Chains A and B, each alone.
Chain A
Amino acid sequence: MTATLNVLVGLAMGLNLVALGSSRLPGLIRAVALQGAVLGVMPVLMHAMDWRVTLVAIATVAGKGLVIPTLLRRAMRAANIEREIDPFIGFVPSLLLGAGGTIAAVALAQALPLLPEHAGTLLVPGSLASVLTGFVLLIGRTKAISQVCGYLILENGIFLFGLLLIHATPLLVEAGILLDLTVGVFVIGIIVDRIQRAFDTLDTRKLTVLRE
């Protein structure tokens, strides 16, 4: 089971790099959606089969894999943008950063004191790498959609870390957290939509009116 899990985490880490390297927004959104779906499956793998876990998993997959990407795609189409042009951190440096970060995450995870049953999984390095990727996207991209994707990847990373605790935390809490995250991204999606309407663009370089 650990092997399956590791494959999935490895897939998620690879999707990080895809997200970092794709200059076209549809590709980015697709990578994020896929990562969300992959993550959604994991609790089912780790937990004993339970209707509640299944429900959570379905909700996750539906939210992260379908609803949010759809929202983002709609906004993207409305704003009539396809590409991330002239990002703050270029694609190649982003990729290098992401790759370096992934290696560093693996190294760091080796150094961290982990329980024996977690030491063999890629959960911690995958989580750290995703968080890092999320930050790179948040910091390095100029299109609001790309940033939202970055934020999603950041959350995915945290979700990965949360899987370490899946046996300890009560499901109610887990569900609440998931719900919050989903609603959060949903709200972000709405705001992106509104910004698109108010500013007629999703380029965050235009969103610097509020300043000292």
Chain B
Amino acid sequence: MTPYLEVPLRLVVLLGLAPLLPGIINKVKAWVGGRRGPPVLQLYYDLARLWRKGVVMSTLASPGFIAGPAVAWVAVVAAIVLLPLGPAEAPFAFRGDVLLMIYLLALARFGTTWAAMETGSAFEGMGVAREVSYAVIAEAAIIAAVLSLSVQTGSVSLSAMLAPAPGAGAVLLAAGLFTVLLAENCRVPFDDPNTHLELTMIHEVMALDHSGPPLAVILHGAAVKLLLFSLLLVEAVLPLGGVSAPVALAIIAAGVFVVTIGVGLVESLLARFAFRSVPLLLTTAFLMCLFALLMAWKGGAA
């Protein structure tokens, strides 16, 4: 398949499926809580409605208020395009693409946080401060995780790094990456998307003043990011090197599903942590990734 065909196809599939994930999580939470919950496709409905709505913008905000979410969305989408899907290599695979992916996610963060700060609201400021501060440790954890994959495979390209069988530190890596996933996507125990107290939120509070299409873009971007991290986690941990393409895709889909359910279960069973213990948890995740790296290193040396 030529990249010209493959990229749109992947985009359609991935972007189309992404909003399913929050739906599944909410369904799991409802199921554990013994409620019926919103439909799985709720986010699709929300997005469609928001996309049709007009925008109310703060008098203080600049055009960046709208450009920010757009930039963030494009960055996340570009990042997910870089991910391989099992044996199907990414259409743009090159040495060092993993770093581009990480920094595209950072660009997305820049876009959302900049836009959030535009309104001059203290709530948004609080959320942004938390977002960018916790990202510091998350970034360290991701780099450590990527380093461990890199050591294990001797490569710095996502397609090669995610393909082979996991090494000795797979469990640690999985735990670490899962924690990072929770943090990066602002799930419990780092953040509670459903809380009603703005003072305790991170991601949601940043979108307080957004409305209409920009809000839709933000929500969809968040879903895509969740999908991206799930894919990364699944592919990093599961051995997909030897299997054929359809089987691999099936395994990946199943894996993402499991991760999503896992997120749902965590959200149901845990409460949000106090903010002061968030760095501690993130540091734990970082250490897990670091230990995974050390194990990969030792395994490679042996």
A and B touch in the complex (CB under 8 A): no
